């Protein structure tokens, strides 16, 4: 029993690279800030007492500080103040200014708006909530941050416990496995008509009746997307194929982001991959840079 406990401790607390945490921190801040910018012009309509202000039913069962912020402070001025607080928190998170407080403020804002905007609630909001919590409990370090300039810190290659990165990796794998499982239950995914319908819908950037002439090709794309999403978690889980999984996954979501209006979701998914960037990935890049110099 003791040996098992030691193995578990060793697994979760194996040293990880601070730069991986920094990548996730910066990427998370940028992706969430894009969503913040898209919501800010309509903040009063969505979140204040002068707008539609529709909350998710579960918000009433959450602690006041967690999911009911916009319900408790619903004046237009208060809504603007909450948004400015969230925006400042995300900017501080990106630049690593009081990073621990910044990630807490960012997580609080993400949870607050997510549980207050049920008509426009999207998959990226789930990702922001999940990864915000994982960042909150992770050892962020001080690499690539203003905190390091202000308070000092370890070198750029310093190690910190890797449990946060491993939880983020597990979260991404679960996202894909769950997504594929749900899609396989959908008859439109099973008969291959999702992608043709999607690119004829308002979600497409290339919507045109001509797409109907390529239904067979788009049916093939539908099944290919299922295969890609089914394969990615296994490629990421195996160290030897991890680079292939990173390239395939990032390219997949870049393609979705370019050809559809789901840019925020694609950006949120791409930052999840930063948790898989390891010292083994950094080393060849550093060696190549030194050889060029």
pTM given for the model: 0.88
Please calculate the CA angle 146-155-278 and round it to the nearest 5 degrees: 95
Distances (CA, A) of 293 to 285, 286, 287, 289: 12, 11, 10, 6
Mean pLDDT computed over every residue of the chain? 86
Is residue 10 packed enough to be buried (19+ CB in 10 Å), middle (13-18) or exposed (0-12)? exposed
pLDDT at 272: 95
C-alpha 126: how far from its chain's center?
8
Q: How confident is the model at residue 232 (pLDDT cuts 50, 70, 90)?
A: very high
Mean pLDDT of 192-205: 89
Burial class (CB in 10 A: 0-12, 13-18, 19+), 143: buried
165-179 burial, b for 16+ CB within 10 Å, e for fewer? bbbbbebbbebbeee
Q: Which residue has the higher pLDDT, 251 or 73?
A: 251
3-state secondary structure of 5: helix
Mean pLDDT value across residues 13-38:
93
Cα distances (Å, whole numbers) of residue 233 to 113, 159, 173, 192, 239: 29, 26, 5, 22, 11
pLDDT interval class at 154 (50, 70, 90): low
Domain boundaries, the chain: 16-143, 162-278
């Amino acid at each position: 029993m003791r040996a098992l406990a030691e193995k578990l401790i060793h697994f979760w607390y194996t040293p990880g690279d601070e730069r991986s945490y920094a990548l996730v921190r910066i990427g998370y801040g940028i992706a969430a800030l894009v969503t913040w910018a898209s919501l800010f012009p309509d903040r009063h309509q969505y979140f204040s007492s002068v707008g539609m202000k529709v909350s998710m039913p579960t918000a009433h069962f959450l602690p006041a500080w967690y999911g009911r912020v916009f319900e408790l402070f619903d004046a237009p001025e208060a809504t603007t103040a909450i948004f400015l607080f969230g925006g400042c928190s995300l900017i501080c998170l990106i630049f690593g200014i009081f990073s621990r407080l910044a990630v807490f403020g960012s997580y609080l804002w993400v949870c607050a708006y997510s549980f207050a905007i049920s008509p426009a609630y999207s998959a990226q909001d789930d990702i922001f909530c999940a990864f915000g919590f994982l960042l909150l409990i992770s050892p962020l370090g001080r690499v690539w941050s203003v905190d390091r300039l202000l308070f000092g810190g370890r070198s750029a290659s310093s190690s910190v416990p890797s449990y946060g990165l491993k939880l983020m990796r597990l979260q991404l794998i679960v996202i894909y496995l769950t997504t594929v499982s749900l899609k396989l239950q959908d008859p439109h995914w099973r008969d291959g008509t999702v992608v043709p319908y999607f690119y004829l819908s308002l979600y497409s950037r290339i919507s045109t009746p001509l797409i109907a002439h390529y239904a067979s090709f788009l049916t093939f794309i539908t099944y290919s997307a299922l295969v890609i999403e089914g394969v990615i978690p296994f490629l990421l889980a195996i160290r030897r194929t991890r680079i292939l999984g990173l390239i395939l996954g990032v390219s997949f979501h870049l393609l979705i982001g370019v050809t559809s209006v789901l840019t925020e979701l694609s950006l949120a998914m791409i930052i999840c991959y930063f948790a898989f960037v390891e010292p083994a990935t950094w080393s060849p890049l550093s060696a190549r840079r030194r050889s060029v110099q």
